[in-house]
A and B are shown apart, each in its own frame.
Chain A
Amino acid sequence: MDKVRVIEVKQSVFADNNAEADRIRRELKEKKTFLINLMSSPGAGKTTTLVRTIADLKDELRIGIMEADIDSTVDAETISAAGAKAIQIHTGGMCHLDAGMTEQGLRELGAEDFDLVVLENVGNLVCPAEFDTGAAKNVAILSVPEGHDKPLKYPLMFQVCHALIINKTDVLPWFDFDMEKVVAYAHMRNPDLAIFPVSAMTGEGFDAWENWLRTEAAAWNG
């Protein structure tokens, strides 16, 4: 039998991704670009929320959007029509974005030309939470029809986020959704989480969310 030799590796599979993400964050800090990583389930309203946010903030911040999807350019077209530069990143079947894909997107977009860049991650509450993209802040959107128990079922997503938008408050009367419970469950996972109930349809609650975004972007961009 052939002789073999064993090489000890002892290396975390995600160590490379974490190191790359930290480098991206440092570079964005120098360029004064505030990157947020926006995550949610499919259909929670990421694109609709972005369209309204762009409309409200486009006169004070230069905004760029990176749309990640397995395929199609539907979202990038919608965002471009709202008045922000948008590019589409195709993940080629992957269920999340990692730091390497984010960096390619930033290069294509020309990140240095923007004060605020939003990375719209793949619609999924599981995998995107596991991979640091290099964003300054992580933001999740949970929508009313999904139910108030999601912070219990997908704890990691709520742990890694800095802000949580609870979208579709306009349909609250028709759903058995307990706002007090969702806030309590989310704070159990992450006591520092900033929570914004909004309706991307009516604009209710957007002032508080946009103030948070403004303040955080100003703090990052110095």
Chain B
Amino acid sequence: MHELGVVFHVIDSLKKVAADNGVERINKVTLQLGEVSTVIPSYLADCWKWAAAKEPLVAGAELAVETLPAITYCEDCDRDYPTVAYGRTCPHCGSGRTYLKQGSEFLIKEIEVPEEEPNG
């Protein structure tokens, strides 16, 4: 729902990373997105195309999205289960005392930049 805002955050973060690394162009950005992060990859891709075109640093850069599976942990039976299939109720013991261990992440994993020619 807030994919465009998220894209602006990503571009701001990339500008800092680029400045820290002396980079002027980025070819590809890889994001890691938790399965239940509330960000929808296809919307994110559309927003990225629109917003990235306006920033010379990332104009035309490819966006890759890796999904991190959502895993919930049950405090009562000390086991993990897949969040998307079972929600908050543990399928092993029926307990509701569960919490999300992984799956809400939104990370910039890495960027790919043109290799500069070594200066003679």
What total count of A-B pairs have CB within 8 Å? Answer: 80
Q: Which A residues touch B27, using CB under 8 A? A: 4
Q: Which B residues touch A17, using CB under 8 A? A: 9
Q: Which B residues touch A14, using CB under 8 A? A: 9, 106
Provided the pairs A11-B17, A16-B13 are in contact, do residues A95 and B1 lie with their beta carbons within 8 angstroms? yes
Provided the pairs A6-B110, A10-B109 are in contact, do residues A16 and B12 lie with their beta carbons within 8 angstroms? yes
- Across the interface, do B17 and A7 meet the contact criterion of CB distance under 8 Å? yes
Q: Which B residues touch A12, using CB under 8 A? A: 105-107
Q: Which residue of A lies closest to B9 (CB)?
A: A13
- Chain B at the A interface: SS class: mixed
A11 to B111, alpha carbons, bound, how many Å? 11
- Across the interface, do A95 and B110 meet the contact criterion of CB distance under 8 Å? no
- Across the interface, do B113 and A13 meet the contact criterion of CB distance under 8 Å? no
Q: Which A residues touch B23, using CB under 8 A? A: 7
A10 to B30, alpha carbons, bound, how many Å? 10
- Does A8 lie at the interface of the complex (its beta carbon under 8 Å from any beta carbon of B)? yes
Size bracket, chain A contacts: 20 to 34
Number of residues of chain B lying within 8 A (CB) of chain A: 29
- Chain A at the B interface: SS class: mixed
- Does A107 lie at the interface of the complex (its beta carbon under 8 Å from any beta carbon of B)? no
B38-57 interface mask toward A, CB cutoff 8 Å, 1 = contact, 0 = none?
A: 10000000000000000000
Task: Report the minimal beta-carbon distance from A70 to chain B, rounded to whole angstroms.
Answer: 12
Q: Which A residues touch B38, using CB under 8 A? A: 126, 130, 156
- Across the interface, do B112 and A13 meet the contact criterion of CB distance under 8 Å? no
- Does A96 lie at the interface of the complex (its beta carbon under 8 Å from any beta carbon of B)? yes
Select which of B2, B5, B111 is within 8 A of A7 by beta carbon. Answer: B111
- Does B108 lie at the interface of the complex (its beta carbon under 8 Å from any beta carbon of A)? yes
A127 to B28, alpha carbons, bound, how many Å? 27
Which residues of A86-131 have CB atoms within 8 Å of chain B's CB atoms?
Answer: 93-96, 98, 124, 126-127, 130
Q: Which B residues touch A10, using CB under 8 A? A: 107-110
Provided the pairs A4-B27, A126-B38, A188-B96 are in contact, do residues A13 and B10 lie with their beta carbons within 8 angstroms? yes
Residues of B within 8 A of A (CB): 1-2, 4-6, 9-10, 12-13, 17, 21, 23, 27-28, 31, 38, 88, 96, 105-115
